[in-house]
Amino acid sequence: MAFGDQFLREPALFPARLAGTAGGENEAWLDIPGGPYRVGGLSDAQSSALAARYEDRCEAASGAAHAVGISTFTVSEDEFVPHERSGRLNTFDFAYHEHSVHLAGHRMMAQISWRPVLTAALWTPLEEGPEFLETFENFFRTVVAYRLLECGGAVLHSSGVTDGSKAWLFYGHSGAGKTTIARRSLEVGHQVLSDDINALYLEEGIPVVAKMPFAGEFGYTNDRIGPFPVAGLHALKQAPENSWRAVSKASAVASLVSCAPFLNHDPYRLPRLMENLEEVVATTLAGVLSFNLEGDFWTLLESQPA
Amino acid sequence: MTITTSTVLRRVDDVRFRAVDDETVVIRQEAAEALVLNEVAGRLLDLINGQSTVGALIESLLDEYEVPEDELANDVREYLEELLATGLVTQA
């Protein structure tokens, strides 16, 4: 099935025919890692929805010159293939190009492009309500992932934990134990950024981790946590006994790439992703944490060299 | 398939790789699968271009590594079988 066939009535015309008009003249400025992000073209209802969702991470106006521009447009429902809502909302079709990425999904289409700086646009008939928010956020997470690539990092499927001065990322696919790690970390007095998805990027050449308010049992809140320097990157593996072993830089890069959503399927941006992660692991402790669900893995980790 | 010195292989289109220290990170981009090759296997993957025969690949590696030819040829066949099995390369 070609790009957009399951979502768009005329995928071949997207984005050549950028139908749609701005829903309104409102802007929202989102303070999220890699940002700020300036979201324009919002109706009153859409800007109110974003303000309620992102609370004090969302400001009516900021004016930062380096903001990432995101335009939103309202398009006719006729542009889209009718679907039952359930089960499709989180699924996008991606089409990767040298200077842009196209996305098509349930009642949405979007473009991320470099002209030469990163800008993004979203077309949707959704004007308000939970479905607009969910659609926006799924699109927005993708934008943030691409933006963090430019910041020398990546979005990682991971559990992020901090002691208030440094942070650890425990990464792995669904079922690897990220939420369990988060719960055990809380028990020993650490703070959890997100147990699902975290921002890893360079700040003045130093790898740092910051909370993204997007997903997970601990993640869907707007409190600002971080950025903190990265103290360790640990791939998760459940096992009967707790153990930790160092891995080579190449092994760390390989497993990190597989946990970097959105970007690891993009042939044009994959080389940059590998380059970024190589730079991160060059100065960061990286290993595999094999752990059982009950044991004290923190004592084990704290005994490793920094 | 049987690998001979006249066999010609090519990398599968969605394979991306990067040398990191003395290993090579390989990503199957469409599936986002990742694996790590040792130095010689990584160099072999780099040399595979859809035109050079296996014999030519061995000649190239002999110029780079001080290893007896028989030993290197055996290693190359073994690595190529693994690259074929993992779907990173195919017959040109």
List pLDDT tens digits, range B18-76: 999 999 999 998 888 899 999 999 999 999 999 999 999 999 999 999 999 999 999 99
Please, which pLDDT band fits residue A87 given cuts at 50, 70 and 90?
A: low
Instruction: Enter the tokens of residue A80.
Output: 């889209």
Instruction: Verify that A255 and A295 share a domain, yes or no.
Output: yes
Q: Is residue A6 part of a domain?
A: no
Statement: residue A77 has pLDDT above 80: yes
Instruction: Verify that A141 and A279 share a domain, yes or no.
Output: no
Q: Higher-confidence residue: B58 or A90?
A: B58
Q: Is residue A135 part of a domain?
A: yes
Stretch A282-294: mean pLDDT, rounded? 91
Q: Higher-confidence residue: A304 or A207?
A: A207
Instruction: Verify that A107 and A63 share a domain, yes or no.
Output: yes
Q: What was the pLDDT predicted at A85?
A: 62
Cross-chain residue pair B36–A257, CB shorter than 8 Å: no
Q: Is residue A2 part of a domain?
A: no
Domain closes at, from A97, A126, A150:
A150
Residue range(s) defining the domain that contains residue A29: 11-150
The residue type of A37 is: Y
Distance from CA of A15 to the nearest CA of B (A): 23
Touching A: B residues 21-40, CB under 8 Å: 21, 23-27, 29-30, 32-36
Q: What was the pLDDT predicted at A56?
A: 84
Range in A169-178, A263-272, A281-290 the model is least confident about: A169-178
Q: Does any CB of chain B come closer than 8 Å to the CB of residue A264? A: yes
- CA A50/CA A55 separation, integer angstroms: 8
Q: Is residue A82 part of a domain?
A: yes
Instruction: Verify that A168 and A236 share a domain, yes or no.
Output: yes
Give contacts of B36 with chain A, Cβ < 8 Å.
248, 250-251, 254
| pLDDT tens sequence across A53-73 | 998 888 755 667 789 999 999
Cβ(A37)–Cβ(A72) below 8 Å:
no
- CA A108/CA A97 separation, integer angstroms: 19
Q: What was the pLDDT predicted at A86?
A: 57
Instruction: Verify that A87 and A135 share a domain, yes or no.
Output: yes
Domain closes at, from A150, A180, A207:
A150
Residue A16 burial (CB < 10 Å; 0-12/13-18/19+)?
exposed
Mark A84-105 as b/e (b = at least 16 C-beta within 10 Å): eeeeebeebbbbeeeebbbbbb
Q: What is the CA radius of gyration of chain B?
A: 12
Q: What are phi and psi of A49, to 5 degrees?
A: -65, -45
Please count the structural domains in chain A.
Answer: 2
Q: What was the pLDDT predicted at A176?
A: 87
Q: What was the pLDDT predicted at A185?
A: 93
Please, which pLDDT band fits residue A89 given cuts at 50, 70 and 90?
A: low
CATH of the domain at A224: 3.90.228.20
Q: Does any CB of chain B come closer than 8 Å to the CB of residue A271? A: yes
| Strand order, beta sheet including B33-37 | B15-20, B23-28, B33-37
- CA A235/CA A255 separation, integer angstroms: 7
Cross-chain residue pair B32–A265, CB shorter than 8 Å: yes
Instruction: Verify that A179 and A125 share a domain, yes or no.
Output: no
**B contact test, residue of A171, A263, A264 with most B CBs within 10 A:** A264
Give contacts of B30 with chain A, Cβ < 8 Å.
265
Cross-chain residue pair B34–A258, CB shorter than 8 Å: yes
- State pTM to two decimals: 0.92
Q: Is residue A5 part of a domain?
A: no
Statement: residue A217 has pLDDT above 80: no
Partners of A202 in beta bridges: A207
Q: Is residue A1 part of a domain?
A: no
Q: Is residue A3 part of a domain?
A: no
Give contacts of B88 with chain A, Cβ < 8 Å.
none
Instruction: Verify that A164 and A284 share a domain, yes or no.
Output: yes
Instruction: Verify that A43 and A182 share a domain, yes or no.
Output: no
Helices B69-85 + B39-47 axis angle, to 10: 70
Instruction: Verify that A126 and A160 share a domain, yes or no.
Output: no
Residue A213: asked if its preceding bond is cis (omega within 30°), the reply is: no
Give contacts of B40 with chain A, Cβ < 8 Å.
none
Q: Higher-confidence residue: A222 or A229?
A: A229
Stretch A263-287: mean pLDDT, rounded? 96
Cross-chain residue pair A248–B30, CB shorter than 8 Å: no
Residue whose structure tokens are 């920094």: A306
Cβ neighbours of residue A112 under 8 Å, at least 6 residues apart?
Answer: A100, A101, A103, A118, A119, A120, A142, A143, A146
Instruction: Verify that A44 and A92 share a domain, yes or no.
Output: yes
Q: Is residue A64 part of a domain?
A: yes
Instruction: Verify that A141 and A174 share a domain, yes or no.
Output: no
| pLDDT tens sequence across A129-149 | 788 999 999 999 999 999 999
Cβ neighbours of residue A278 under 8 Å, at least 6 residues apart?
Answer: A249, A253, B18, B20
Cβ(A26)–Cβ(A42) below 8 Å:
yes
Instruction: Verify that A142 and A177 share a domain, yes or no.
Output: no
Q: Higher-confidence residue: A9 or A83?
A: A9
CB nearest to B23's CB, from A248, A264, A275: A248
Domain closes at, from A150, A180, A212:
A150
Q: What was the pLDDT predicted at A114?
A: 93
Stretch A198-206: mean pLDDT, rounded? 95
Q: Pairing mode, if any, of strands A108-114 and A100-105?
A: antiparallel
Cβ(A154)–Cβ(A231) below 8 Å:
no
Statement: residue A27 has pLDDT above 60: yes
